Amino acid sequence: MTATVSLDVLKTPQPPVNGAANVALVGNPNCGKTTLFNMLTGMRARTANIAGTTVETRQGKTIIDGRSITLIDLPGMYSLSDPSPEQMIARRALLGEAEGLNGASNKKPDAVVLLLDATNIQRNLLLAGQVIELGQPTVVALNMCDLADRAGITIDTKSLSAELGCTVVPICARSGNGLPQLREALSARLASQEPHVLPQQLSACSTCGGCPIRARFDWAEGVEQRCARKPMGEHDPITEKVDSVFTHPVLGLLSFVAIMFTMFAMIFWVADYPMGWIESGFEALGGWVGDALPAGDFNSLVVDGVIGGVGGVVVFLPQICLLFLLLSLLEDTGYLARAAVVSDRLMRRVGLPGTSFVPLLSAHACAIPAIMSSRIIENRRDRLVTIMVAPLLTCSARLPVYAMVTALLVPNQPMKAAMIFVGAYSLGIAAALFVALLLNRSVLKGKAQPLVIELPSYKAPNLRNAFITMVDRGQAFLIKAGTVILLISIVLWATMTYPKSTPPAEAVAMQQQAEVLAAQGQVAEAEALTHEAENLISSNNLSNSIAGRLGQAIEPAIKPLGYDWRIGVGIVSSFAAREVVVSTLSIIHSVGEEDEAMLYDSMRGAKLADGTPMYSTATCLSLLVFFVLAMQCLPTSIVAAKEAGSWKWAALQFTYMTVLAYGAALVTFVTTNAMVG
Amino acid sequence: MISFGIPAQKVRSSEANEGQASGESCRVSLDQLKKGQCGVVWDLSVSENDDKRLRALGICPGRRVWLIRQGNPMVVRVMGTRLGLARELARMVQVDVCAPPCSIATDLTSAELDGRAGV
């Protein structure tokens, strides 16, 4: 194999000085690859799927010696024969087999930067040997030289370079030490037309008989012995001490619960402020646009449909950003791998692997990023089970619904309200575990893939990496909100707006009366009356709209749960996002959308057709249970279908969740009624 | 979800093969090592997929594995890194115990093993 330097890879506007080049960044997981990538490309990177797959790579540009370099951060891998789909695709990308890598050409990268962890080169040399053998121009970056120094490890880079047949540059990606030298070496390698020469011992390794990996490890061991000096025994006493707590059967579980609890407390507490700003921002924008546009359907479409709909979902952005910021920090420290070990003990019993705990944890903020992050689960069966149960966990959009129900059930009793919240969260978790177990015994038979996970040494987290991950995830969510969620918002707006109905006689009379009052100078009374008339008109419009009629149509079906058609309309409208049910009920109870206290008063006063209170204890509890379990979220369904690879799974998910929610709500309603009387 | 020790105990009492553990070759499955003990991997009999995963992480014939913590998953150390490892996989990995009193019966020479001791 000979190396060629392509001169026509990228279609850049102005011809680059030395020709553009694609450079792939390859290395083991936990070797500091992301840090190096971020240091080389800064904030100019973007996340892109390798064409035709869901495997994401980050790609970024950097200029080295006037040459425009596209750096491609391939997924971390331990060897080129790793069986996970992500790593198989990374391998194909490296070999130039993946179609249209970098969206430009169907070819292999012009050069490879191979990252080795200096604190453990023996392990890293397995992949290194395989990559070097591919014959592409390769530069080796020996990372974490500072940590190696501290651990008393010395590496002779000259002899390592001779063993590997390529330039070896010691760097510290975190501090940036050695990066200029790495750029220089890469530039020199790209400029040189020399074919890659494979060292003899390495080439002997791949052809020898027996277990190829075994032979490679023997070679790696030899290289380490010849090039590195390290002290005896475990080189990381801190990791040893910390792990004696974090992987302990009892202490490990306790610290796991404590860490997760702290993380969620922080997410909900800190995110509360920016969420308030976003909410008022969208309200202000809606008000401003509403005033600027002429009144009518278009005004309503823009204000209620587009701004209101998208705003209702984007308000969760701070929580999602914080979640990924904290998860990234935790991952950097090395704790997440321990958390996978601890949670594996629990989750294996219901057929979920320990690795599914990050997606399931994320689902407590929002099921959409949770389902998207289920890609980290290697095994397809395990991934499907995770996707199927993730929306059962209490996401933020359910919180306004829980808040409404608790306000109706136990007004001004924070302790009881907190207990209802805990109950709702626990119900979601229990349901998710139960359904995972059922899936395990039915459509997704089999066992969760047994755990094998590297527990990297503990390190101080890297804020810069965490920040970049956060921006990345936030962007992905906003793009979803900008497309899928926008579309759904518009469709639901239409079903709640059309067909138009004539204003009720009562409201018309009120408006006339208001005009008379205004003429008499009683401005305040006139305004109050106009407001009331407007609320009546919106309530009437909603009742007669498609959504309203749907609500009335499903009334017979939801009657056994204690709901009447008004809640039916709320359920129909909540497919956009669950919290929409609160604003829909506000409109239906003719209180407008502003005043929560007024809404609760009005709801408490609401009566059913037979004169009994509409929101009895039984109805409230049944409504709570329904919203804990039901799949009232079309955006999640769409993401689930995409990630599971088929609409079949999304349909099954929707069906089982609706059936489960209906059944559980029915049981709740009947038993509460029997108990309360 | 009360105690995690119970299933592991069950597994041990039903699966532990004392005769093999005290036999001449001192070849046991990885989960039968004691805390702090080390063994040289002899063979793996797992699915092809798991075989690749294990080997890539260093659970490969010829490598030394130390048992750090029992349990399920258990914690082992191999090639300078800790791994969390499901017990059901560890059961399928045969190792030759490298601590006395057992002598090591492998195809490795003592010089090779000495070299590995520093790893």
The pair of three-digit structure tokens given for residue A101, joined into one six-digit string: 């890598």
Q: How far is A85 from chain B (nearest CA, A)?
A: 11
A76 contact partners, CB below 8 Å, separation of at least 6: A27, A28, A29, A30, A31, A33
Share the mean pLDDT of chain B. Answer: 72
Sheet containing B64-69: order of strands: A452-455, B81-85, B74-78, B64-69, B38-44, B93-97, B27-29
Structure tokens belonging to residue A132? 């070097």
Non-local (6+) Cβ contacts of A200 within 8 A are: none
User: How many CA atoms lie within 13 Å of A666's alpha carbon, on the beta-carbon side?
Assistant: 10
Alpha-carbon span A522 to A529, nearest angstrom: 11
- pLDDT value of residue B78: 92
B1's tokens: 């979800």
Whether A247 and B52 lie within 8 Å, measured CB to CB: no
A383's CB contacts (< 8 A; 6+ apart) are A356, A374, A375, A377, A643
- The nearest CA of chain A is from the CA of B13 a distance in Å of 19
Q: What is the pLDDT of residue B113?
A: 43
A340–chain B nearest CA distance, Å: 9
A235 contacts in B (CB within 8 Å)?
Answer: 80
Q: CB–CB of A455 and B83 under 8 A?
A: yes
Residues of A in contact with B63 (CB under 8 A): 217
From the list A122, A244, A248, the residue facing B80 with the nearest CB is A122
Contact A51, A90 (CB under 8 A): no
Q: Quick check: A452 and B77 CB within 8 A?
A: no
Annotate A10-25 with three-state secondary structure: CCCCCCCCCCCEEEEE
CA distance B80 to chain A (A): 7
* Residues of chain B with C-beta less than 8 angstroms from the C-beta of A237: none
To the nearest whole angstrom, how far is the Cα of B112 from the nearest Cα of chain A? 10
Nearest residue in chain B measured CA to CA from A218: B62
Instruction: Give the span between the Cα atoms of A448 and A450, in whole angstroms.
Output: 6
Contact A239 B69 (CB under 8 A): no
Partners of A248 on chain B (C-beta within 8 Å) are 69
In chain A, which stretches have pLDDT less than 50?
Answer: 1-17, 100-105, 208-209
CB-based contact B68 A82, cutoff 8 Å:
no
Which residues of B are less than 8 Å from A455 in CB distance? 75, 81-84
Beta-bridge partners for A443: none
Coil, helix or strand at residue A139: strand
User: Under 8 Å CB-to-CB from A536, ≥6 apart: which residues?
Assistant: A503, A504, A506, A507, A510, A590
Which residue is associated with the tokens 């793996």? B44
Contact, A235 vs A152, CB < 8 A?
A: yes
Are residues A344 and B75, on separate chains, in Cβ contact within 8 Å?
A: no
Check B86 against A451: CB less than 8 A apart.
yes
How many angstroms separate the CA atoms of B63 and B79, rounded? 8
User: Which of A214, A230, A338 is the closest to B60 by Cβ?
Assistant: A214
Half-sphere CA count of A90, side-chain side, radius 13 A: 28
Cβ–Cβ contact A339 with B under 8 A: no
User: In a mutagenesis test of the B interface, which of A227, A451, A459 is the best target, namely the one with the most B β-carbons within 10 Å?
Assistant: A451
Cβ-Cβ contacts under 8 Å for A405 (sequence gap 6 or more):
A420, A620, A621, A623, A624, A627
Local confidence band at B99 (pLDDT 50, 70, 90 cut-offs): low
Query: Per the structure block, which two tokens stand in for A90?
Result: 């990374």
Contacting residues for A519 by C-beta, under 8 A, at least 6 apart: none
**DSSP annotation of A177:** B
Residue A250 burial (C-beta neighbours within 10 Å; 0-12, 13-18, 19+):
exposed
Which residue in the block uniquely carries the two structure tokens 């979640």? A323
**Closest residue to A344, CB basis, from B62, B73, B82:** B73
Question: Per residue in A161-183, pLDDT tens?
Answer: 999 989 999 999 989 999 999 99
B81 phi/psi in degrees, rounded to 5? -130, 150
Judging contacts by C-beta atoms under 8 Å, the chain B residues touching residue A218 are 62
User: What is the largest distance, in Å, between two alpha-carbon atoms of chain B?
Assistant: 48
Comparing C-alpha atoms, which of A439, A421, A418 is closest to residue A356? Answer: A439
Calculate the CA dihedral of residues B23, B29, B31, B32 and round it to 10 degrees.
0
| pLDDT value of residue A51 | 59
- In this complex, do B88 and A450 lie within 8 Å of one another by their Cβ atoms? yes
Complex ipTM value: 0.78
Q: Which residue has the tokens 């407001």?
A: A531
Q: d(Cα A156, Cα A172) in Å, to the nearest integer?
A: 16
Helices and strands, number each (H, E), in chain B: 5, 6
Residues of B in CB contact (< 8 Å) with A are 1, 4-5, 48-50, 52-63, 68-69, 71-73, 75, 77, 79-86, 88-89, 115-116, 118-119
Closest CA to A253 of A334, A341, A342: A342
Burial of A630 (0-12, 13-18, 19+ CB in 10 A): buried
Distance, CA of A64 to CA of A40 (rounded, Å)? 10
Cα distance from A169 to chain B (closest Cα, Å)? 22
Give yes or no for A126 touching B (CB within 8 A): yes
As separate numbers, helices (DSSP H) first and strands (DSSP E) second, chain A gives 31, 10
Q: What percent of chain A has pLDDT over 70?
A: 91
Residue B87: the pLDDT is: 92
- The pLDDT > 90 percentage for chain A reads 27
**Using alpha carbons only, how large is chain B's radius of gyration in Å?**
14
Instruction: Establish if A221 touches chain B: CB-CB under 8 angstroms.
Output: yes
- Using CA coordinates, name the residue in chain B closest to A336: B84
In three-state secondary structure terms, A104 is coil
**All residues at 6 or more sequence positions from A634 whose CB lies less than 8 Å from its CB, including other chains:** A488, A575, A576
pTM of the model: 0.80
Inter-chain touch B56–A126, beta carbons under 8 Å: yes
Of B83, B86, B119, the CB nearest to A454: B83
CB spacing of B84 vs A211 below 8 angstroms = no
Q: Give the distance from residue A149's alpha carbon to the nearest chain B alpha carbon, in angstroms.
A: 16
CA nearest to A79 within chain B: B56
C-alpha distance from residue A505 to each of A351, A500, A594 (Å): 60, 15, 25
Instruction: Select the residue of A83, A253, A451 nearest B85 (Cβ to Cβ).
Output: A451
Mean pLDDT, range B17-29, rounded to an integer? 59
Of the candidates A92, A22, A9, the residue with the CA atom closest to the CA atom of residue A53: A92
Tokens of A400: 């306004």
User: Where do runs of H (alpha helix) occur along A208-247?
Assistant: 212-227, 237-246
* HSE (side-chain half, CA atoms, 13 Å) at A91: 17
Burial class from Cβ neighbours inside 10 Å (0-12, 13-18, 19+) for residue B73 reads buried
E strands in A438-580: 452-455
Nearest Cβ partner for B62 among A126, A217, A345: A217
Residue A221 to residue B119, Cβ atoms within 8 A: yes
Amino acid at the residue A247: T
What residue type is B92 in one-letter code? M
CB contact under 8 Å between B80 and A126, yes or no, is: no
Under an 8 A CB cutoff, do A235 and B80 touch? yes
Alpha-carbon radius of gyration of chain A? 30
**Residue in this structure with the two tokens 């790793």, named with its chain if needed:** A82
pLDDT, one tens digit per residue, over A81-120 is 877 777 777 888 888 776 544 444 457 888 999 999 998 8
Q: Cβ distance A57 to A64 under 8 Å?
A: no
Residue A238: Cβ-neighbour burial (10 angstroms; 0-12, 13-18, 19+): exposed
| Interface membership of A247 toward B (CB under 8 Å) | yes
Tokens standing for residue B44: 């793996």
Residues 68-107 on A with a CB inside 8 Å of B are 77-79, 81-83
Residue of A nearest to B74 (CA): A341
Among A119, A123, A214, the residue with its CB nearest the CB of B62 is A214
Q: Which of A57, A50, A53, A160 is nearest to A116 (CA)?
A: A160
